[in-house]
Amino acid sequence: MAVFETSLLSRSVNILRCILFLLLVCFWPALHASAPTSITVVIGTPSVLSNDFVEQFKAELKPYATNGLRINILRLEDLPTQRIPENDGHVLVAVGVQAFSELSRLETKLPIFGVFVPQLSYEAVWAESRRNQRRFSAILLDQPFGRQMALLRTILPAAQRIGILYGPASRQFGVALQHSAAEHGLELVEQDVEQDSELMPKLKHVLADSQVLLAIPDPGIYSRETAQTILLTSYRYQTPVIGFSQAYVRAGALAAVYSSPRQIARQAAEIIMQSQDGFPAPRYPKYFSVDINRQVARSLSIELSDENALSEALVRIERQSP
């Protein structure tokens, strides 16, 4: 009986050794993968925004600098005169669409990560470059539609019909918007704007049949040239506008969800330092704030909580979402 038990034990040990060997073979690359050892940040257009990003990005990575992480800041215009080392552990970070697009054209195998890149721009750049998405990703400039719908639902609980204008570039988001609206018990009033001459007639049609206009990023509709016209027309109809940027709120939109350069820097640092096995797919901002236009709210007789309370409410909603 003892011999049998010893034989059984020996066989079990051998099986366990085989399992451990297979696990080691499968996970050996991951166990030996290392975090980036150097990062080159390429700035497309120097600005307050890019300066804030770089300052916070360096601050977030300061603990890693003591272990040898090197961070180099480079302007895009200086890129042709710089030699970027093709070292393992070297990551390129592009600040802005122009830098992201230019880096995608480089003959390099280095991983490239973009920030402040609209979803439409990311898709166009990736389609042209066809790089491996495990080594080519970004934090998108856009906020997720669910977050925007949650803001709308929170500050305008009586609103049921949401106006949407699609341009040729943004029409692809129609299904996602409809799904998000349905999840929040909202109905979309949609119009396609295919030519500039159609903008005002279709805007008025949407405003007449909806209780709020949700602006979505599309340069063919929401541009510097059209912003004031859209906002003034919406105001005449007494229809509030939910914008997609802090700048749009300052121009006259009622409110918007946005992510500051420092919030983007925080998320970028987290993703890059955890990218041993490759970048995750392009994703929306994780950290965000709410901006509101008090003057517009008073003019439309809308009572709003303060920005921090609204931001915290949206965070709770997202945590409760499946």
Residue 5 CB burial class (10 angstroms; 0-12, 13-18, ≥19): exposed
Nearest 5°: phi and psi at 307? -60, -40
The total number of residues written for the chain in this structure: 322
- What is the pLDDT tens value at each position of the chain, 322 positions in all? 444 444 544 554 454 454 433 443 344 333 334 678 999 999 999 999 999 999 999 999 999 987 889 999 999 999 988 888 888 899 999 999 999 999 999 999 999 999 999 999 999 999 999 898 899 999 999 999 999 999 999 999 999 999 999 999 999 999 999 999 999 999 999 999 999 999 999 999 999 999 999 999 998 999 889 999 999 999 999 999 999 999 999 999 999 999 999 999 999 999 999 987 789 999 999 999 999 999 999 999 999 999 999 999 999 999 987 6
CA 55 to chain centre: 20
Q: Which pTM was predicted?
A: 0.85
Going along the chain from its start, the domains and CATH numbers come out as 38-141+262-273 (3.40.50.360), 145-258+288-320 (3.40.50.2300)
